[in-house]
Amino acid sequence: MTSPEPGTGTHPGTSTDPIRVAVLGAGGKMGRHAVRAVTDAPDLELVAELGSADSLQKVLDAGASHLLDLTVPQISPENVAFAVQNGLHAVVGTSGWSAERRTRLREQLADHPQVGVLIAPNFSLGSVLASAFAAAAARHFPSVEIIEMHHPDKVDAPSGTAVRTAGLIADARSEAGVGPSPDATTHDPDGARGALVDGVRVHAVRLRGLEAHQEVLLGGPGEQLVFRHDAFDRGAYMPGVLLGLRTVASRPGLAYGLDAYLDLG
Amino acid sequence: MTSPEPGTGTHPGTSTDPIRVAVLGAGGKMGRHAVRAVTDAPDLELVAELGSADSLQKVLDAGASHLLDLTVPQISPENVAFAVQNGLHAVVGTSGWSAERRTRLREQLADHPQVGVLIAPNFSLGSVLASAFAAAAARHFPSVEIIEMHHPDKVDAPSGTAVRTAGLIADARSEAGVGPSPDATTHDPDGARGALVDGVRVHAVRLRGLEAHQEVLLGGPGEQLVFRHDAFDRGAYMPGVLLGLRTVASRPGLAYGLDAYLDLG
Amino acid sequence: MTSPEPGTGTHPGTSTDPIRVAVLGAGGKMGRHAVRAVTDAPDLELVAELGSADSLQKVLDAGASHLLDLTVPQISPENVAFAVQNGLHAVVGTSGWSAERRTRLREQLADHPQVGVLIAPNFSLGSVLASAFAAAAARHFPSVEIIEMHHPDKVDAPSGTAVRTAGLIADARSEAGVGPSPDATTHDPDGARGALVDGVRVHAVRLRGLEAHQEVLLGGPGEQLVFRHDAFDRGAYMPGVLLGLRTVASRPGLAYGLDAYLDLG
Amino acid sequence: MTSPEPGTGTHPGTSTDPIRVAVLGAGGKMGRHAVRAVTDAPDLELVAELGSADSLQKVLDAGASHLLDLTVPQISPENVAFAVQNGLHAVVGTSGWSAERRTRLREQLADHPQVGVLIAPNFSLGSVLASAFAAAAARHFPSVEIIEMHHPDKVDAPSGTAVRTAGLIADARSEAGVGPSPDATTHDPDGARGALVDGVRVHAVRLRGLEAHQEVLLGGPGEQLVFRHDAFDRGAYMPGVLLGLRTVASRPGLAYGLDAYLDLG
């Protein structure tokens, strides 16, 4: 039997329970992509689609085993608490899950030791892998900088992914005892050197035509190593969503970040 | 007859006079590269190498027809004035030639209508072409940004080349009636969006291992156009130096920028 | 008055006649994009949309001044002949316009000296600019190679754009007397060096996630110049389609290639 | 105490024995770089430089604890056998160490259980990391291709590094049950799709100005992940050489590939 393209759908789930998915926020941009991806995956079953006006009871009525939360920060914690309370596993792509919220969720999960929850700030496998590898490699190079590039309708700079990548890099370098990147700049009147995030220079480009892209540049004597990730459209997030849905039942407790489900050593 | 690699040396000069070159600043980094490049070029003859202690009289004694000035801003104007006074053509790679200095030189050249002088802030053919093409293309795209990348021992940011490129782009867009690049950024507390130079965002990366690199990114609905130039070492400047020496005698008066000698329409 | 983003729509047409557009092939992928782009452009008016079952008479009944042909090679010549016959300007994105077909069209246009026709193998401004600039620059560098990258559902390699770019480069280098790119390869058992098209090495990458991308790499001693174009979706072709519709009435006769309408010196 | 730039020299060796290095092949290109790098490293001592005419006895006379072999395939095995015989650790950058030669060396090392030997086909940290990470990531993406780019004086294509990277990727994908990259190509008369190495497409670019560069492109629905490595000059190999010299004494037996000394999970 030939194997399918990874991330496109047909490999078996990691749980023997059937994966019956309820999508919350099904009418949003991510939601619509997710509805299609779950529907197309042979080992997943879409049992409910909820919009903002729907009652959570619909999830139970449909017999869902998994909840996929793609809503808004205001109601995501309530949705997830409902899932845990009812023994459903949850995969969460909604933002706004502060450390405090995650602590409260961990407390609730302590009483439901068989339930798994994944909260992923970024569902792109490529982005998560690039950040993790860049951090691992950054221990070996004197210089590191980040360039993130997005469409010009984005209101904040730098991107959340760039900030998280800078943090991972800073942690790895600190642990390895690597000092700051060398920089002799003494004259930069207009701020061309960009932002300093956890000691790492981050540059934000905004360009019509682009979607979401990031480069981590590592430099040492006579060589450069570049990790580049391009997310061309929201389809980029679906393999990560499916991986989350297939894996969460076998990982009780709270996982924060898709990294936890990838074999990154 | 098969043709040589362009820029490597054997094609005929554009002047019928022999090209007898005196190199000033022959002991510096650029100077040493230039001495070798002139020596290796079959149609050029190296007749004198001058260091800071040498008298300019040495240039005349050697019978030079061309002077290549690779010295320092303090003495470059004096060297060029001496060349013009004595009917020698001059190619100048020294920085610091302000508009005022160039005006004074033009006045002197008016009295020597057969003499040609080229002052080039950048001798890299690739860099000059990239900047010129980027400016021409920037008329057709809503978005444009510049990323320059250099070794971390550089003290100023952004680079002079990036500033000149931004100026060329700004002029081309102004002439074509193109407005500023779209940018919805409202939150950028640490300056990740970089410097604004003539209305164009410029980002400066400093990385061990790099030499001198620049990307101009142009974006429009659904597409991106990137012009990237890499100067790996000072050898990158020699084809431009040789082109200057071969062409200057046929272009009386002052040319500022290597662009003037390239067929850029 | 602030100026709009270039290529997005509101600048005045180059003709004083109103631009009343009939789209042929309106139901295809390109056609649907074009219908939306024409509708959104304030200075253009969409007066008719034709599918394969519609009679060309519909174009005249709607009072169209311009015909946009996005059909199939089998019927495109007939459509354009009809337009010329009736004094309409035509912009053509359909493939299959061989030299022979173009010759016949030129003969017909001789009898209609006020009619303009543009046949464009590629409507992406960025792609056309990249190819033109790459060819102009290729005169100055010993080495040149092309890498084209597309989605893996493409059946032919290399792409038509890469073949045209190689041809433009070959012509420019031949005219400038530049010899073949240096290449010492003596051992390449599996064909890693790619295809030789008009003397230029062309490499074709096929990768899930990509749409249509091309890099032209130029190299000389110590430097590299890269022209990269990315077409992320069919929206990339709309600025070129609009430019064609706005310009064609002022350019009687046949123009082949969007280059003719860009100021490329 | 502030930490130095990684790979540039002053951190403590992993062994308590002083690292007294004899360089064999000291007159070659790599050898000259290595002599300088060892001399500049505060925790290493250069005790002997040998050329092809020198007797190996010189190594013992100088009291070397480590041998760095940068010679030629014909004599490298003899040099290493001599080192092992005399209880010296060896770091080897010479090519030609076939599986058969390595087996024989392992047999000899069995009798010298305290001696470490590192044979590294590639001393660039960045290159080794890029290949390892690309292989790890390639399990998660349907598409993968390799583009290697070198100076045009190289006689073989593709490069040995590209072949090794393709092998690592093929192993990782086979283990993960990932099938071949999707490819609908049916028409490629001139071989633009490049070489197929262990089931992975490899493209070889040759360009004046370049040294040694490689890109691994991974693609999935809506996204791309690129690992790019640039080796600008032989200085790129020195951090790896120093890492090898500092680590080999603590790793008895034979290590093949620098990977073994990096923390790659």
User: What is the predicted ipTM?
Assistant: 0.87
Centre a 10 Å sphere on the Cβ of residue D101 and count the other Cβ atoms it contains. 15
One domain, residues D171 and D114: no
**Amino acid D265: pLDDT:** 55
- Alpha-carbon Rg of chain D, whole angstroms? 20
> Cα dihedral sign for B106, B110, B112, B116?
positive
Q: What is the mean pLDDT of residues A88-103?
A: 95
Mean local confidence (pLDDT), A135-164: 96
Kind of pairing between the strands at B143-150 and B200-206? parallel
Using CB atoms, which residue from C154, C217, C223 is nearest to D205? C217
| Sheet (strand C66-69) strand order | C44-50, C19-24, C66-69, C89-92, C116-119, C253-256
Contact C30/C92 with Cβ under 8 angstroms? no
In this structure, the answer to whether residues D24 and D118 fall within a common structural domain is yes
Check residue A265 and give its pLDDT. Answer: 55
B112 is catalytic: no
Q: Is D193 on the interface with C (CB under 8 A)?
A: yes
Residue D12: inside a domain, yes or no?
no
Q: What is the pLDDT of residue B6?
A: 58
Per-residue pLDDT, A262: 86
What pLDDT does B18 receive? 81
Which of A6, A227, A229 minimises the CB distance to D140?
A6
Does one domain contain both B64 and B152? no
pLDDT of residue C3 exceeding 90, the answer is no
C-alpha span between D241 and A221 (Å, rounded): 13
Residue B15 has pLDDT above 50, yes or no: no
Which residue do the tokens 């949705």 mark? Answer: A79
Q: Which residues of B touch C265 (CB under 8 A)?
A: 136, 264-265
Cβ contact, residue pair C236, A211, below 8 Å: no
Provide the chain B residues 216-255 that lie in CB contact (below 8 A) with chain C.
218, 220-239
- C-alpha distance from B82 to closest chain C C-alpha (Å): 32
* CB pairs < 8 Å spanning A and D: 178
Of C15, A224, A64, the residue nearest D211 (C-alpha): A224
Whether D130 and D209 share a structural domain: yes
Distance CA A150, CA A158 (A): 10
Q: Are residues B76 and B165 in the same domain?
A: no
Instruction: With a cut of 50, say whether residue D14 has pLDDT above it.
Output: no
Query: Which chain C residue has its CA at the smallest distance from B5's CA?
Result: C142
Query: Do D176 and A6 count as a contact with CB atoms less than 8 A apart?
Result: yes
Q: Is residue D195 within 8 angstroms of chain C, CB to CB?
A: yes
Q: Chain C: nearest CA to A233, how far in angstroms?
A: 9
Q: Flag the least confident range among B131-135, C11-15, C220-224.
A: C11-15
Contact list, C157 vs chain D (CB under 8 Å): 185, 187-188, 192-193
Chain B residues in contact with D236 by the CB 8 A cut-off are 209
How confident is the model at residue D16, as a pLDDT?
59
User: Which residue among D11, D58, D112, D154 is the active-site one?
Assistant: D154
Question: Residue B262's pLDDT band (boundaries 50, 70, 90)?
Answer: confident
A84 and chain C in contact, CB less than 8 A: no
CA distance C59 to C20: 10
A14: in domain: no
The C-alpha atoms of residue D20 and residue C86 are separated, in whole angstroms, by 90
Average pLDDT for residues B43-48, to the nearest whole number? 97
- Taking residues D56-83, what's their average pLDDT? 97
C158-188 residue pLDDT tens: 999 999 999 999 999 999 999 999 999 999 9
- Position D12 confidence tier, pLDDT thresholds 50, 70, 90: very low
Per-residue pLDDT band for A229 (boundaries 50, 70, 90) equals very high
Residue A198 pLDDT > 80, yes or no?
Answer: yes
Cβ distance of D232 and B232 shorter than 8 Å = yes
**What pLDDT score does C206 carry?**
98
User: Cα distance from D107 to chain A (closest Cα, Å)?
Assistant: 31
Would you say residue A255 has pLDDT above 50? Answer: yes
Range of the domain at A221: 125-183+190-232
| pLDDT at residue D262 in the model | 86
Residue A101 Cα, gap to closest chain C Cα (Å):
35
Q: What is residue B142's DSSP assignment? A: S
User: Count of CB atoms within 10 A of residue A14's CB?
Assistant: 14
Is the CB of residue A227 less than 8 Å from the CB of residue D227? yes
CATH code of residue C74: 3.40.50.720
Residue numbers of D between 109 and 148 with CB closer than 8 Å to C: 141-143, 145, 147-148
pLDDT-above-70 percentage for chain D:
93
Q: Give me the mean pLDDT over the C58-75 stretch.
A: 97
**D135 within a domain of the structure (yes/no):** yes
CA distance A40 to chain B (A): 27
Residue A243's pLDDT is what? Answer: 95
- For the beta carbon of residue B251, count every other beta carbon within 10 angstroms: 17
Residue recorded with tokens 């080999």: D248
Region of A231 (left: φ > 0; alpha: ψ -120 to 50; beta: rest) is beta
Per-residue pLDDT tens over the stretch A160-169: 999 999 999 9
Question: For chain C, how many structural domains are there in total?
Answer: 2
| Sheet architecture: strand order including B200-206 | B195-197, B200-206, B143-150, B212-220, B223-231, C223-231, C212-220, C143-150, C200-206, C195-197
Neighbours of C149 (CB within 10 A): 24
Residue D209, chain B, CB below 8 Å: the answer is: yes
Going by pLDDT thresholds of 50, 70 and 90, the confidence category of residue B5 is low
pLDDT band for position B136 (50/70/90)? Answer: very high
Same domain, D177 and D115: no
More confident call, A5 vs B197: B197
Examine residue D79 and state whether it is found in any structural domain, yes or no: yes
Residue C153: count of CB within 10 angstroms of its CB: 11
Residue D149 belongs to some domain of the structure: yes
Q: Give B73-98 pLDDT, tens digit per residue.
A: 999 999 999 999 999 999 999 988 99
The catalytic position among D150, D203, D213, D229 is: D150
Inter-chain residue contact A184 with B157, CB threshold 8 Å: no
* pLDDT confidence of residue B3: 44
pLDDT surpassing 70 at residue A192: yes
Q: In the predicted model, is pLDDT for residue B192 greater than 90?
A: yes
A153 touches chain C (CB under 8 A): no
Give the mean pLDDT of A11-22.
68
Distance CA A258, CA D100 (A): 43
Q: Are residues D101 and D149 in the same domain?
A: no
Catalytic residue list of C: 150, 154
Q: Write down the pLDDT at residue D18.
A: 81
Cβ C182–D206 below 8 Å, yes or no?
Answer: yes
Same domain, C154 and C80: no
Q: What residues of D are in contact with residue A2 (Cβ under 8 Å)?
A: 179
Q: Is D179 on the interface with C (CB under 8 A)?
A: no
For chain A, which chains pass the contact test of at least 3 CB pairs under 8 Å?
Answer: B, C, D
CB contacts of B203 in chain A (<8 Å) are 147, 192, 194, 203, 205
**Closest listed residue to residue D197, CA positions, set D169, D148, D147, D163:** D163
Q: Which of C184, C195, C204 sits opposite D154 (nearest CB)?
A: C184
Any domain includes A11: no
Q: Would the pLDDT of C15 be above 60?
A: no
CB contact under 8 Å between D209 and C192, yes or no, is no
Say whether both B162 and B248 belong to one domain: no
Which residues does chain B have within 8 Å of residue C142's beta carbon, measured at their own beta carbons?
Answer: 5-8
Q: What's the pLDDT score for residue C5?
A: 54
Residue A228 lies in a domain: yes
| SS3 assignment for D181-211 | CCCCCCECCCCCCCEEECCEEEEEEECCCCC
Claim to verify: residue D101 and residue D134 sit in the same structural domain: no
Interacting residues of D217 by C-beta distance below 8 A, sequence separation 6+: C149, C205, C207, D143, D144, D145, D146, D147, D224, D225, D226
How far apart CA D39 and CA D237 sit, in angstroms, is 15
pLDDT value for D238: 95
Residues of D in contact with A264 (CB under 8 A): 136, 265
Predicted pLDDT at C6? 58
Q: What is the average pLDDT across A6-15?
A: 44
Provide the CATH number for the domain around residue A219. 3.30.360.10
Chain C residues with beta carbon closer than 8 angstroms to that of B229: 223-226
Residue C203 lies in a domain: yes
Domain check: are B151 and B109 in the same one? no
| Closest listed residue to residue D248, CA positions, set D33, D60, D45, D68 | D68
Q: How is residue A108 written in tokens?
A: 């609730």
- Interface with chain C: mutation pick from A226, A233, A237, highest number of C CBs within 10 Å: A233
Q: What is the pLDDT of residues D182-227, one digit of tens each?
A: 999 999 999 999 999 999 999 999 999 999 999 999 999 999 999 9
DSSP structure string for chain D = -PPPPTTSS-SPPSSSS-EEEEEETTTSHHHHHHHHHHHH-TTEEEEEEE-TTS-THHHHHTT-SEEEE-S-TTTHHHHHHHHHHTT-EEEE--S---HHHHHHHHHHHHT-TT-EEEE-S---HHHHHHHHHHHHHGGG-SEEEEEEEE-TT--BSS-HHHHHHHHHHHHHHHHHT--PPP----B-TT-TT-EEETTEEEEEEE-TT--EEEEEEEEETTEEEEEEEEE-SGGGGHHHHHHHHHHGGGS-EEEESGGGGS---
Structure confidence at residue B132 as a pLDDT band (50, 70, 90): very high
Is residue D102 within 8 Å of residue D254, measured between CB atoms?
yes
Please indicate, yes or no, whether residues A118 and A241 belong to a single structural domain of this protein: yes
